[in-house]
Amino acid sequence: MSERILGIDAGNTRVKWGVNIDNAWLHCGAVATVDISRQTQLRDLLKVQDVDRVVVSNVAGLAVARAITELVHASGKVADFVAACARQCGVVNSYDEPSRLGCDRWAALIAAHIAAPALQRPQLVVMAGTALTIDTLTADGHFLGGVIMPGAGLMRSALKNATAQLPLPQGIYRAFPTNTDDAITTGTIEACAGAIARQYAQVTNKVGSSPHCIASGGGMQELAAHLPFPISINDNLVLDGLLAIARSRNPAPQDC
């Protein structure tokens, strides 16, 4: 029987998980990160499923790490928390301090590299969650660097919290907004889409060919239509990277 690997992607807003069996993500679920310590769905899944290994990406802090550790430990398993390193699964990390790269970004880069071995093109790896990250990966797997900025939702919350009269908008995108809600919604979409497009142009100028753009995260739903180039959406990008890392650690981590 194929190895059953439970991947857990703990982000700032949501904790998402899935059990991979024969390269398919099954028994998937998600919960608000603030509710992880008192939710039952993942606990029940661990009781029912015969999981061989548990691999975790956590960028949500120590309290969330403890909650996940306790949930997994109660099922008799050990949670393997991943961290970025200098080289893994064919990806070379060019961060000044490789271990300081976010583990979710690292997993996404690995997944993007493994998913597109025949492209022979650089890749722009975009994750649109609470934060928006835009990372560049060469065709041969070198991570050149990337940018981090607030996601559109976080921008809107910041405007509401830092100003006396601006609301948390319920607006829509319009080329020329004529009310405040639409102006904020449009402005935050333009900021994020513009940053992605600018990085796309930077990559094209640096390597001489346009990148393949692969994206993940709940925020991509409203951004995708405003990008002037095609993108591939993979909602399980981090989970796919976790799967690759888990398999590479059989029997031991690589070059970390």
Q: Identify the CATH class of 5-81.
A: alpha beta
| pLDDT at res. 249 | 78
Interhelix angle for 62-74 vs 41-48, to 10°?
30
Q: Say if residue 252's pLDDT is above 50.
A: no
Across the range 216-239, mean pLDDT stands at 95
Nearest residue to 137 via CA among 93, 86, 97: 93
pTM of the model: 0.93
Q: Given the residues 104, 135, 235, 255, select the one marked as catalytic.
A: 104
Across the range 3-16, mean pLDDT stands at 95
pLDDT digits (tens, 9 = 90+) for 62-85: 999 999 999 999 889 999 999 999
Question: Which stretches of the chain are DSSP H helices?
Answer: 41-48, 62-74, 103-115, 152-162, 180-207, 220-223, 237-248
Do domains 5-81 and 119-236 share one topology? The answer is yes
User: How many residues make up the chain in this entry?
Assistant: 256
Q: How is domain 119-236 classified at the CATH fold level? A: Nucleotidyltransferase; domain 5 (3.30.420)
Q: Say if residue 4's pLDDT is above 50.
A: yes
Q: Name the residue ranges covered by the structural domains of the chain.
A: 5-81, 119-236
pLDDT digits (tens, 9 = 90+) for 40-52: 888 888 887 889 9
Centroid of chain to Cα 150: 14
Q: Is 104 annotated as catalytic? A: yes
Kindly indicate the confidence band of residue 253, based on its pLDDT and cuts at 50, 70 and 90: very low
Across the range 123-133, mean pLDDT stands at 97
Rounded to 5°, angle at Cα 230 from 227 and 235:
90
